[in-house]
Amino acid sequence: MVLAGGEGKRLMPLTADRAKPAVPFGGSYRLIDFALSNLINSGMRRIVVLTQYKSHSLDRHISQTWRMSPLLGAYVASVPAQQRLGKRWYSGSADAILQSMNLLSDEKPDIVVVVGADHVYRMDFDQMIEAHIASGRGVTVAAIRQPLSLATQFGVIEVDDNDPTKIAAFREKPSDPKGLLDSPNEALVSMGNYVFSAQALIDAIEHDGTLETSSHDMGGDIVPWMVAREDAGVYDFTYNEIPGSTERDHSYWRDVGTIDSYYDAHMDLISVMPVFNLYNNEWPIFTQQINLPPAKFVHDGEGNQGRTTDSIVSLGTVISGGIVERSVLSPEVRVHSRALVTDSVLLDRVVIGRDCTVRKAILDKGVVVADGASIGVDRQRDIDRGFTVTESGITVVGKGVLVTP
């Protein structure tokens, strides 16, 4: 099960017109492609995606891209809020599963893998399933090691002193996270991925559904309840081995739930030795293959050379006399004469006019930057024009906006 109903308020304005898992990433992908690719590469063939918030583009992407052969019963199915328990929407991730319980009764699985859809990473879930079965517990939570200074931002897992695979406590954003025995300066934080024994999941979800005080959240309610029953284990992501991974991108995982983390994850892609390597063909990230011509870099009529360095440039893009540095360009972007684009993320069909400057910016689909305009140069002017500007100085322009000088 892929939980893909999140609203993604912290990613606004990128989520103003789409669900968070449908936000484009890395030039050619959507965020959900990473979760689905990991499941497919791990041998999963019956996958449901629970959707809700502004799900049209997400549903379209799944139906057009993730088409499996029905011959062997394989499928990736988008399942909207069915309102089987009354005229209401999902009130949390656990409630989404409760309202979709028919999916479990129809398939009758022994093991259920539950993952989020807004993280960038590679993971072999088959290894986690093996560890879960060996533990004999009802749930296993995937966890990644983080410095204690960062652990306060996540749900922290404290393990049993006598059994490092058993969860002793689950604390949400604690001010005093407990370090690991083998690494006192690090703590285990939840990745939002779970492996359940099917009956244990059903029991926990149905119990949670009877509690009026519950927020019906997988990490906030279901896991702590199972920890209290001493029925929860942890899987340390550090030990997950991915074919083709390098020492640099081993155990890479990034939550891209904010503008800053979304931007930083893009910057992780473009170095000579990338922190996250998109080019690992032994564990591919799948997505829709669009029918567009190759990218092109040409001189303009005045002899200015179109060039790019340390960047990702997608199909259909034309850089004509402009310069692109340390940026990620999605399909069908146009960069015209004497334009300078640095440290930026341009989504599909963005047009950068002549003599423009774009610095440290994220431009959503269809943004047109008119000749002579600038973005990311004058913070106050960007704010006055209604653009989102983060504390770290990232300027975000929403979908289809015309930016004038």
Write down the domain spans for the chain: 2-267, 296-403
Taking residues 209-234, report their average pLDDT: 88
pLDDT tens digits along 149-193: 888 778 899 988 888 899 999 887 788 888 888 888 889 999 989
Strands 186-197 and 111-116: antiparallel
What does the pLDDT read at residue 213? 82
Q: Does residue 301 surpass a pLDDT of 80?
A: no
The residue written with tokens 């799944």 in the block is 62
Residue 72 has pLDDT above 90, yes or no: no
Q: What is the reported pLDDT for 92?
A: 77
Residue 214 pLDDT level (bands cut at 50, 70, 90): confident
Q: Does the pLDDT at position 120 exceed 80?
A: yes
Comparing 2-267 with 296-403, is the CATH topology the same? no
> What is the value of pTM for the model shown?
0.93
CA atoms of 334 and 45, how far apart (whole Å): 39
For residue 83, what pLDDT is reported? 67
Whether the per-residue pLDDT at 197 is higher than 90: the answer is yes
More confident: 81 or 13: 13
Model confidence at 89, pLDDT cuts 50, 70, 90, reads: low
pLDDT at position 317 over 70: yes
Give 272's contacts (C-beta < 8 A, 6+ positions apart).
310
**What is the average pLDDT value for the chain, to the nearest integer?**
91
On whether the 296-403 domain is CATH 2.160.10.10, my answer is: yes
pLDDT at 84: 65
Helix (H, G, I), strand (E, B) or coil at 24: strand
Instruction: Considering the domain delimited by 2-267, tell me its CATH architecture.
Output: Alpha-Beta Complex (3.90)
Which residues, other chains included, contact 336 with Cβ-Cβ below 8 Å and sequence gap of 6+?
A: 300, 320, 321, 322, 351, 352, 353, 354, 356, 371
Q: Which residues pair with 113 in a beta bridge?
A: 195
Least confidently predicted of 61-75, 115-129, 274-288, 380-394: 61-75
pLDDT surpassing 70 at residue 14? yes
User: Residue 86: pLDDT band by 50, 70, 90 thresholds?
Assistant: low
pLDDT band at residue 34 using 50, 70 and 90 as cut-offs: very high
Is residue 45 within 8 A of residue 73, CB to CB? The reply is yes
